[in-house]
Structure 1
Amino acid sequence: MIDLQDSRDEIDKVDKEIVRLFEHRMKLAKDVAEYKIQTGKKVYDKEREEAKIASLKALAGNDFNRHGIEELFIQIMSMSRKMQYSLINEKDMGIPFEEIDALPVDSATKVVWFGVEGSYTEQAFKEYFGEEVRAFNAATFKEVMEKVKDGSADYGVLPIENTSTGGITDIYDLLIEYDNSIMGEHILKVNHVLLGLPKAELKDITKVYSHPQGILQCNKFLEANPQIKPVEYESTSGGAKKVYMDGDITQAAIAGKQTAEIYGLKILKDNINHECNNSTRFIVIGKNKKYKRAAKKVSICFELPHESGSLYNMLSHFIYNNLNMTKIESRPLEGKTFEYRFFVDFEGNLKDAGVRNALYGIKEEAIMLKILGNY
């Protein structure tokens, strides 16, 4: 009969030898890194790694061990690359962002926000910038991006994420389409109300207008009142303005309390969103690639090879550099079948060594990397 303790003792000896050989291998990998740095050779050599793994798998005695050898050496080579990336001089990182003490804002600063008067975005903009700047609104997300791009506005304010309904996909797509950067964020608690004309009652309402996000955040109220048909509109405040302009007692809007006074509407039902802590995160975008010295969050986007383990390999850069990833979102790639672009938020500052190391590794191994901002 096999002695369990003897087997465990042998495993301990093997493990110690594995550690010794791993450290020796990493020392050799460091020598290779020094050569690559001196010659300008890229760290990641995909063909070399694939050939190496294939030859090592061939040494294994069965399919189970061949699969295990593949996984083991994928991880060893990944760790080797990460160590090599950490040796790359900072001047080679290629991060095109300038550090500043604070966002330049004065009475001449121009800010564009999404929606019409009374929108949540207007409220977020006022809480972030105050009342002294020169502000104007835009009817669409794209128009906000365009105004910042062409210099009509110094900053733009857009909603990007809600605690009840998740990310606003149009914004992620626009962050790729335009080269504007995220320079700040603001979180606003959102309490939706049902607004109607002054003489209207809840029983009169057959149609309600709101932005798709507003409708989603109040879907349980709408399910409980099936006589009310939701109609998507350009913004929550825009829906309120339409009810006011149409003067139809059967119409209502899902919007914020602040719009009731602006358009002379009556609150028919208060707090109709189903999530009591319903909050929306807004981003402040700018044309310039700058970040505040005290910035604590980085947003990036990357595209990957469509192959097994590629997303895991990208995310491992955060683990290796002890970075806390706070969000991941995916969007389909145009013209590709079930292939995706990934958006990631993580804690850190662009001047941190761990952040720079992670970004360099992702840049080397991804098809595309874009730093969206540090704020």
Structure 2
Amino acid sequence: MDLKEIRGKIDTIDRQLLQLFLERMATADEVAAYKNEHHLPIMNKAREREILAHVTEEAGEWERYAYHLFSTLFELSRSRQAELIAAPTRVGAQVKASLADIQPVFPQTGLVACQGVEGANSQVACDRLLPRGNIVYVKSFQAVVAAVESGLCKFGVLPIENSSNGSVRAVYELLQDHKLSIVRSTRLCIRHELLALPGVKMGDITEIYSHQQAIGQCSKFLNGLNGVRVIPCDNTAMAAKMVAESGNRHAAAISSHPCAELYGLECVNDAIQDSENNYTRFICVAKDPVIYAGANRISLIISTDNKPGALYDVLSKLAALGINMSKLESCPVSGRNFEFIFFLELEASVQEPGVLPMLEELERSCADFHFLGNYAEV
């Protein structure tokens, strides 16, 4: 038998497989109707485990492939049932509220809370996200959240991730504890410089101030210094302002070139960061859940049961819909041994077929589930 004949045989088998698959999915609709009527859960792990045990036993040397084939069939069946079952979910209500007032264009104006002072990277992100926004400077990430929650500001801008130092955990914790929605994001290229009063040389410096993230992004340079104290502060721009106002000729700040001009400092060294490819992502948060036109990124915080295959169950739901996951990061849960939460970002829109039912099924199956928003990155 030549290759053409073999392929013809495969085509025949594939046609038979397709018909059986369509019949199986139609039967899954019947299962969904029964479960809906009798208020039964979509997942029946005991039955799936029993079928997989039988399949692997019957498949012989192909048992590994058969196991994955049937696991995928189960996931597709559950995804279809999730579309049909009408059990209410928090994420469903949140998305429907967001879509009820969908806005065609992201606003260019409004009061926006920003941590730091003039010259901070957060301020640059504010100007990019809301070019005609009115910035209200506050002292901490918590204060940004409070300003938005109280209605003092319509928006808040927060750093959420750096290409060198990973996620800003403090911001994720705030998003987990407070009901704010991400409505936009942007990405800035960050350049750190060592700034000091005019005329100060490297040998004069005995203390360096900056934000903890910037300190981490310049760790190689800092580790090579002797007799220099590194002191964390709230913000890189605040560090520059503090050095300028102190008049201390033994102090320096890790900050940006615009801050040197803004606060009358000079650059002592402009090659101090570990990586030239140093980007920070900033998010814009709002009190009310709103989805603007062009939203194509979904952010989630989830936790799963501490058992084998729990994370795979989550990932298989995404794979079944062909959704690309652009971020997956684990974070240990404080006070619990070997338990983790996960930060996820998906390239998807809740208006795409199957996405909202998938999110609802994740909410039902995950021990903890937070839908942070569906938004666009600029």
The alignment's TM-score, normalised by the length of structure 2, stands at 0.85
Unaligned runs of 5+ in 1: 1-7
Cα-to-partner distance string for 1:14-33 (whole Å, 9 max, x where unaligned)? x8788776655444323212
* 1:112 match: 113
- 1:295: Cα distance to partner? 0.9
Q: CA 1:163–1:306 in structure 2 vs 1: closer, same or farther (change >3 Å)?
A: same
The 8 Å contact of residues 75 and 317 in structure 2, kept in 1 or not, is answered as no
Match of 2:159, SS state, is strand
Matched position secondary structure for 2:208: strand
Q: Which residue is equivalent to 1:216?
A: 216
> How many residue pairs are counted as aligned between the two chains?
364
Once the two structures are overlaid, the 10-residue window that deviates more, 114-123 or 361-370, is 361-370
Q: Given that residues 92 and 356 in structure 2 are in contact (C-alpha distance below 8 angstroms), is that contact kept between their aligned partners in structure 1?
A: no
* Cα offset, 1:88, TM superposition: 4.2
Tell me the SS of whatever aligns to 2:267. strand
Deviates more, 1:65-74 or 1:315-324: 65-74
Q: Find the aligned partners of 1:164 and 1:362 in 2 and give their Cα distance.
A: 30
Letter in 2 for 1:119: A
Residue in structure 2 matched with residue 362 of structure 1 by the alignment: 362
Question: Is 1:60–1:69's contact at 8 Å kept on the other side of the alignment?
Answer: no
Q: Distance in 2 between matches of 1:64 and 1:338?
A: 35
Q: Matched residues in 2 for 1:90 and 1:110: separation?
A: 38
CA distance in 2, matches of 1:347, 1:89: 25
Q: Residues of 2 paired with 1:336 and 1:237: CA distance?
A: 37
**Residue 136 (structure 1) shift:** 1.2
CA pair 68-261 structure 1, distance change in 2 beyond 3 A: closer
List per-residue Cα deviations over 1:241-284 (Å, max 9, x = no partner): 22123322111100011211232211111242232232211100
Is contact 2:114-2:126 (8 Å) kept?
Answer: yes
**Other structure's SS at 1:148 match:** helix
Larger mean Cα displacement after TM superposition, 96-105 or 351-360: 96-105
Equivalent residue, structure 2, for 1:232 = 232
TM-score of the two chains, using structure 1 as the length reference:
0.85
Pairing 1:83–2:80 present: yes
Which residue of 2 is the match for residue 96 of structure 1? Answer: 94
Other-structure match for 1:136? 136
Q: Is the 1:184–1:283 Cα contact (8 Å) retained in structure 2? A: yes
- Distance in 2 of aligned mates of 1:283 and 1:271: 28
Q: CA RMSD in A?
A: 3.1
Aligned to 1:161: 161
Contact kept? 2:188, 2:279, Cα under 8 Å: yes
**CA 1:334–1:277 in structure 2 vs 1: closer, same or farther (change >3 Å)?**
closer
- Shift in Å at residue 71 of structure 1? 6.1
Aligned-pair distance for 1:43?
1.5
Bigger Cα displacement from structure 2, 279-288 vs 329-338: 329-338
Q: How much does 1:35 deviate?
A: 2.2
2-structure distance, mates of 1:337, 1:294: 41
Aligned pair in 2 of structure 1 residues 19, 349: CA closer, same or farther (>3 Å)? Answer: closer
